[in-house]
Structure 1
Amino acid sequence: MYSKVGVLSYGLNIFDEMLQRNLFSWTLIISGAIQNGECILGLDIYLHMIRSGLRPNEFTLGSVTKACAIMGAYEFGLCIHSFALKIGMEWNLFIISSILNMYAKLGDIGSAERVFVCMDKLDAGCWNAMIGGYAECGYGFEALKIVSLMQCRGVRMDHITLVNAFKGCSVMGNLEYGKQLHALIIKSELESSTSVMNALMDMYFKNDGKYSALKVFNRMKNKDVISWNIAFGGFSEEGDAREMAILFNELLLIGMNPNHITFSILLRKCGELLDVNLGLQFFSLVLRLGFFDEVNVSSSLISMFSRCGVMGMAYLVFDSVLLKNIITWNELISGYNFICHYTEALKIFCSLWELGVEADKFTFSSILEACYKCGNQQMGRQIHGSIFKLGFASYGYICSSLIKGYVSFGLLDDSFEIFNEPDRLDLASWGVMMSALVHEGHNYEAIRFFNSLIKSGEKPDEFILGSVLNSCAAVAGYQQTKSVHPLVIKMGFEKQEFVSSAVIDAYAKCGDIEGSRMAFDQSFGLNDVIIYNTMIMAYAHHGLVIEALQIFKKMKLANLRPSQATFVSIISACNHMGLVDQGCLLFESMSLDYEIEPSPDNYGCLVDMLSRNGYLDDAKHVIDMMPFPPWPAIWRSLLSGCRIHGNRELGEWAAGKLLKMVPENDAAYVLLSKVYSEGASWEHAAKIRRVMIKRGVSKDPGYSWIEIL
């Protein structure tokens, strides 16, 4: 009783006072300790029980396997499995389902599979454990395959089966299978099960079926606080803030009490929606209801304020937390990383280290990002040493951060050394290595790595294929592109939007616009905005503005909503052919027809188009009126237009603005010098050259290359 109401110490005192203890009392105290989060204590009591000569039953072993899963105690879990076999409990279905759960939560799905296959008779609990295990480890297809097999064998599905099956649908992104299961729920009259309906709603949200999810929510008769939390978690688009506030008001009106998880979700959603005003209102309720000291709530507050750019408030929240744990510290470090204040993130880490707070894997992953983003190589090496010393070197994403860091520092040998460590050559490591090389411009090394991957017999995933195609595009590697494209088709990735757009882009940048169009046609049926944008930009770069406009029309016929990137592509196409009126109309249509606020890139394209085509006063007017402060590239566009059209006065003014921002930029001097020389003002041109020499500004040499077959 005491352990169930959370007063474990009283239960332990009574247990210690017992003169005669039987298996039942030992099992109760072990289970109570584990349920109260005292897993080490639970395992210690279990060992005392074994030493006393008592033989555990299935409930004892079930509790112990649960503790092993929670603690990540893989070796201890293996011993428990071996002991169960030794005492003849390998056919006990409760034990089997517990062992399946344990292996899945420990990430060893292979061992779970072997246990499952060896069993002749399985009950619904074992089937559910295997389905849930696959879903837990990210194997959505296998989870759904087991669901289908379960139906074929005539095993009756219960509410746990459906909950796990929906997790499999979410992992795999299989909305159609999820809809079939939804129909099965209606047919089986399981709509009264709150846990099933919660899982269904969650599946719809995770598969971009927001409106279907909300329909399920509105139809639910027995909503619990989890139902409301899932509904709040589904809001992620602009304009959802109002809906979220209305829904929260409904929760209060029906007398449902929000919990700390509710506020954690709401605050993080406010951060994602960049709605600090709504976040402050939820903050006031947090204080009023006494949830501020909950770790997940205070962490969510720090996250919300940092995402909204109010870092002062984020630090104030952090400073107000009385009992800071590593989660709170991690959130603050991540917040500084998010707003690119990497030096501040390093200072917070140093404070953490000096206070003796024990860093975890998430701390090291975040601080490594701060090190390589701010170029602090020395601290990066010191943190690498601490990672190795504290035993975190085996964590995949920490190694990924180390690889990215060393590549960004230009220390390729160090990154190769980490990559080549024993047990490191998995597909994820290949992907991280290639992505880092591409991001830092080491494209030839990335291509060589890809070829080594293929020779090793590994099959690349969509991320690796996307990375190598980006490298091919960057170096105009036409033959390599032609060799990768058939592999994309062979592996079935030609309709994966990320890979498909990379193929289109690679062919275009290699000069083969027909190859781009072929790849675009192969992706038919995807109806993805990114693919249309890539094809429009491909035509634009080749000066084929009519074809680019045709793709834009085709996109509208497919009922696809254009994005800001779409208009960057289409206005660039108009720019190449001098269709200024058409480009201006398209820019205006963004806000008038599509209610899209133009981004800095959209304004940059408009100014470049006006400047190149001689509409210099209009370009200057756009710069003066746009809702963003000007940036160097937009001044370069105007200055370049002044050079083309010989506007010396405006060119001098634009050059002054550009040099004020980037005094050492060679483009401003070179373009202004050309404005003077092309206007026969040789003295002024020579003066600019002398200023460049005096200030040590040199023009970066241009270069070109050809591919030798």
Structure 2
Amino acid sequence: MIHTRVTKSGLHLGVFLMNNLINFYAKNGLITDAHKLFDEMLVKNTFSWNIILSSYAKSGKFDKARWVFKEMPERNSVSWTAMIVGYNQMGMFENAISMFLEMISSRVSPTHFTFTNILASCSSLEALDIGRKVHSFVVKLGLSSYITVANSLLNMYGKSGDRDTAKVVFDRMTLRSTSSWNMMTTLYTQSGRLDLALSQFEQTIERDVVSWNAMIAGYNQHGFDTDALVFFSKMLKESCYVQNGLHSNAMELFRLMIDEGPKPNNYTLAAILVVCSSLASLNNGKQIHSVSIRSGEDSSVSVSNALITMYAKTANIEGARRVFRKISWRHDTISWTSMIVSLAQHGLGEEAIELFERMLYLGVKPDHITYVGVITACTHVGLVDKGQSYFSLMKKTHSIEPTPSHYACMIDLLGRAGLFQEALDFIEKMPIEPDVIAWGSLLNSCKVHKNVELAAIAAEKVLRIEPDNSGAYSTLANVYSASREWDSAAKTRKLMKDRGVKKEQGFSWVQIKDKVHIFGVQDGLHPQRDAIYKMIAELWDEIKKLGFIPDTESVLHDLDEELKEQILRHHSEKLAIAFGLISTPEKTTLRIMKNLRVCNDCHSAIKFISKVVGREIIVRDVTRFHHFKDGCCSCRDYW
């Protein structure tokens, strides 16, 4: 001990030097030594007491901290704040607030550091009412000009969902840090206002990795995977990790960053995991998971949440479950939401609902994305009453105003169940104008149930808002074709052509090792075309023997049955599956991705194929995952 050497030398240390020595021991975790030295002091001042108090509070030894606090002959703002900081670090936010209220009652004036910490307590509890009172006190004491205090106010209002007041606080700030801009950007992305988020992002002068990650995560959460990928690429280029134009592939950019740039932190890892999710690249995602473990960043909540999404979007729901279970003691709202949304996407509606109920039981407050997830879960398993009850609960219990996404989910819920009158009544009562997604949801439901009349109305509504929406033309034409109204289908396609609207082409892809193989309908360009077509022919014969009957109604053109069957046989997802079968070992799970909704014939055929080959085949289409195994699908033919 330094003190022992000083004592042996015969030197006498004054209060100032003794305090510094105690502080040295405390900061290095030698609390026992610090307290022993403290006890030996003949003269102590408030600073001496505060050092010991702070060391106990920060280490979670609150019995001793309270004892020191009680024994102090004089307490100042530092003493009270030390207790508040300690409570916050241990997650005891209610105690922190109680301590603050007691501090005020004792007529001790808080400092800007006190307010920064008590606002953090309010943020963690989403205690908006208390936070507003603290805000009033901040203004009264003239401390709102401190950037740390203003940022804490932004964080508190943001986490409590009061975006308007957060904007007022931001606008009144005379000085802003990068964190100030980042918090507003994040607030907009979380509330679905990506336009405002982008504007905020572009005004941020000094962007850091948090700035970029906020936009990447926002685009990803709201389904704009391509934009997320573009932003990730821009992030690495602007951050000088690579030279412009050196690589176009995001994974190559990331590998280069590992080789030549700084050690990836939790924000960068979370961002690249978003890219893996967008590309549905499980192999790359696993590699990033390994990188996060080696760097110790896998314990980060942001990385863990990104891992949940990555595993779910790459068709490995069990991997998502494992990550979720591993961080059970650190779940935040995003963790719960990520898992609920993941289960919903995989058609595991009952499990998603059970998890949501558990979340509520544990007192974790859901956000608007959580409700999108749980209502979607109800949609995928046809639980209409349950979905309606959650929609009501969202506003009445959690004071979350429905967004266009929630209204679209409800229309989808009712439409998929064939409750078209109820869906129309719901639209009629909506306090906002239905958007493209809302009418598009109804249009897709009309396709499932072959409701020609309502499909025409829904398509007209979509095209009135978005005249170049190719999906509306295609879906309406398909509804007409499925109902054998060939003239109406032809007129719709001609109208689409005359207006210069191009149909989105369907394609499927499968990743074998590190290479992605993409297939279109009747694709003959792959180097292994002959082997693929041979496998398709063999599978076709085998599944027909088991009772498979081609759904020629899925061919939406007026052709003879033989030609229709030939077209069906070579749909993109079937080609991708055939290639996967000849390129991977037996019993290997196949993961196929498709950019459009899987057709009825492919859905039926893949069920039979899974039985013939004895493999699980997972297909991710534009709306959900289908797990085909032993002749059955996880969606139970309700999609």
Query: In the TM superposition, what whole-angstrom CA distance separates every residue of 1:571-619 from its partner, at most 9, and x where no partner exists?
Result: 4234313545545766897989xxxxx8xxx3239xxxxxxxxxxxxx9
1:96 aligns with 2:80: yes
Map 1:516-531 onto structure 2 (within 5 A). Answer: 516-525=423-432, 530-531=437-438
Q: 1 CA distance for matches of 2:366 and 2:80?
A: 35
Q: 1 CA distance for matches of 2:76 and 2:336?
A: 42
Q: 1 CA distance for matches of 2:610 and 2:144?
A: 78
1:19 aligns with 2:6: no
The answer (yes or no) to whether the contact 1:124–1:156 under 8 Å persists in 2 is no
The answer (yes or no) to whether the contact 1:12–1:29 under 8 Å persists in 2 is no
| Per-residue deviation, 1:129 | 3.6
| Per-residue deviation, 1:46 | 2.8
| Distance 1:438-1:200 versus aligned 2 partners, 3 A rule | closer
User: Which residue matches 2:457?
Assistant: 547
The answer (yes or no) to whether the contact 1:144–1:168 under 8 Å persists in 2 is yes
One of 469, 488, 496 as aligned partner of 2:375: 469
Report the structure, 1 or 2, having the larger helix content: 1
Query: In the TM superposition, what whole-angstrom CA distance separates every residue of 1:680-703 from its partner, at most 9, and x where no partner exists?
Result: xxxxxxxxxxx9999899995899
| Per-residue deviation, 1:207 | 4.0
User: Which residue matches 1:46?
Assistant: 34
Where 1:24 maps in the other structure, the secondary structure is: helix
User: Which residue matches 1:274?
Assistant: 233
| Per-residue deviation, 1:111 | 0.8
Map 1:292-311 onto structure 2 (within 5 A). Answer: 308-310=250-252
| Per-residue deviation, 1:640 | 4.1
Query: In the TM superposition, what whole-angstrom CA distance separates every residue of 1:84-109 from its partner, at most 9, and x where no partner exists?
Result: 122244x5222212322332343321
| Distance 1:456-1:207 versus aligned 2 partners, 3 A rule | closer
Where 1:180 maps in the other structure, the secondary structure is: helix
| Per-residue deviation, 1:159 | 1.7
Report the structure, 1 or 2, having the larger strand content: 2
| Distance 1:590-1:481 versus aligned 2 partners, 3 A rule | farther
The answer (yes or no) to whether the contact 2:447–2:455 under 8 Å persists in 1 is yes
The answer (yes or no) to whether the contact 1:540–1:569 under 8 Å persists in 2 is no
| Distance 1:274-1:23 versus aligned 2 partners, 3 A rule | same
One of 132, 138, 148 as aligned partner of 2:119: 132
The answer (yes or no) to whether the contact 2:341–2:373 under 8 Å persists in 1 is yes
Where 1:137 maps in the other structure, the secondary structure is: helix
1:87 aligns with 2:46: no
The answer (yes or no) to whether the contact 2:506–2:521 under 8 Å persists in 1 is no
User: Which residue matches 2:222?
Assistant: none
The residue type equivalent to 2:462 in the other structure is F
1:500 aligns with 2:442: no
| Distance 1:567-1:158 versus aligned 2 partners, 3 A rule | same
The answer (yes or no) to whether the contact 1:465–1:499 under 8 Å persists in 2 is yes
Map 1:218-367 onto structure 2 (within 5 A). Answer: 228-229=206-207, 233=211, 272-275=231-234, 278=237, 281-283=240-242, 308-310=250-252, 314-315=254-255, 317-318=257-258, 342=282, 361-362=299-300, 365=304
The residue type equivalent to 1:514 in the other structure is Q
1:107 aligns with 2:73: no
TM score, norm. by length of structure 2: 0.61
Query: In the TM superposition, what whole-angstrom CA distance separates every residue of 1:26-80 from its partner, at most 9, and x where no partner exists?
Result: 333555688xxxx4346465334334346765545656677678xx732x35532
1:396 aligns with 2:319: no
Where 2:101 maps in the other structure, the secondary structure is: helix
1:603 aligns with 2:501: no
- Aligned pairs, how many? 532
The residue type equivalent to 1:547 in the other structure is I
The answer (yes or no) to whether the contact 1:236–1:273 under 8 Å persists in 2 is no
1:146 aligns with 2:128: no
| Per-residue deviation, 1:110 | 0.6
| Distance 1:232-1:645 versus aligned 2 partners, 3 A rule | same
1:645 aligns with 2:633: no
| Distance 1:705-1:376 versus aligned 2 partners, 3 A rule | closer
Structure having greater relative contact order (Cα 8 Å, sep ≥ 6): 2
The answer (yes or no) to whether the contact 2:337–2:369 under 8 Å persists in 1 is yes
| Per-residue deviation, 1:537 | 3.7
The residue type equivalent to 2:250 in the other structure is C
The answer (yes or no) to whether the contact 2:376–2:413 under 8 Å persists in 1 is yes
| Distance 1:138-1:21 versus aligned 2 partners, 3 A rule | same
| Distance 1:51-1:470 versus aligned 2 partners, 3 A rule | same
The residue type equivalent to 2:408 in the other structure is S
One of 149, 152, 163 as aligned partner of 2:151: 163
Q: 1 CA distance for matches of 2:213 and 2:158?
A: 17
The answer (yes or no) to whether the contact 1:469–1:481 under 8 Å persists in 2 is yes
| Distance 1:537-1:147 versus aligned 2 partners, 3 A rule | farther
| Distance 1:438-1:555 versus aligned 2 partners, 3 A rule | same
Q: 2 CA distance for matches of 1:347 and 1:706?
A: 34
Q: 2 CA distance for matches of 1:236 and 1:590?
A: 36
Q: 2 CA distance for matches of 1:305 and 1:30?
A: 54
The residue type equivalent to 1:278 in the other structure is K
| Distance 1:454-1:321 versus aligned 2 partners, 3 A rule | closer
The answer (yes or no) to whether the contact 1:472–1:478 under 8 Å persists in 2 is yes
Where 2:233 maps in the other structure, the secondary structure is: coil
User: Which residue matches 1:534?
Assistant: 441
The residue type equivalent to 1:167 in the other structure is N
The answer (yes or no) to whether the contact 2:345–2:377 under 8 Å persists in 1 is no
The answer (yes or no) to whether the contact 1:516–1:538 under 8 Å persists in 2 is no
The residue type equivalent to 2:185 in the other structure is F
The answer (yes or no) to whether the contact 2:304–2:327 under 8 Å persists in 1 is no
| Distance 1:56-1:107 versus aligned 2 partners, 3 A rule | farther
| Per-residue deviation, 1:346 | 5.8
Q: 2 CA distance for matches of 1:232 and 1:333?
A: 13
Query: In the TM superposition, what whole-angstrom CA distance separates every residue of 1:486-515 from its partner, at most 9, and x where no partner exists?
Result: 434533445244433322221112222233
One of 400, 410, 422 as aligned partner of 1:515: 422
The residue type equivalent to 1:164 in the other structure is S
| Distance 1:573-1:497 versus aligned 2 partners, 3 A rule | same
Q: 1 CA distance for matches of 2:186 and 2:291?
A: 38
Where 1:552 maps in the other structure, the secondary structure is: helix
Q: 2 CA distance for matches of 1:10 and 1:571?
A: 81
| Distance 1:351-1:96 versus aligned 2 partners, 3 A rule | closer
One of 193, 200, 206 as aligned partner of 2:186: 206
Query: In the TM superposition, what whole-angstrom CA distance separates every residue of 1:461-492 from its partner, at most 9, and x where no partner exists?
Result: 65564444334322323444454444345334
| Distance 1:13-1:538 versus aligned 2 partners, 3 A rule | farther
The residue type equivalent to 2:299 in the other structure is K
Q: 1 CA distance for matches of 2:165 and 2:43?
A: 45
Structure 2, unpaired ranges of 5+: 189-195, 217-226, 482-488, 508-519, 541-549, 582-589, 591-597, 616-628
User: Which residue matches 1:443?
Assistant: 349
The residue type equivalent to 2:19 in the other structure is T
Of the structure 1 ranges 25-34 and 510-519, higher mean CA displacement relative to structure 2 is found in 25-34
The answer (yes or no) to whether the contact 2:201–2:211 under 8 Å persists in 1 is no
One of 162, 166, 171 as aligned partner of 1:174: 162
Q: 2 CA distance for matches of 1:582 and 1:13?
A: 93
**% identical equivalent positions:** 12
Where 1:158 maps in the other structure, the secondary structure is: coil
The residue type equivalent to 1:24 in the other structure is F
Where 2:379 maps in the other structure, the secondary structure is: helix
The residue type equivalent to 2:560 in the other structure is G
TM score, norm. by length of structure 1: 0.56
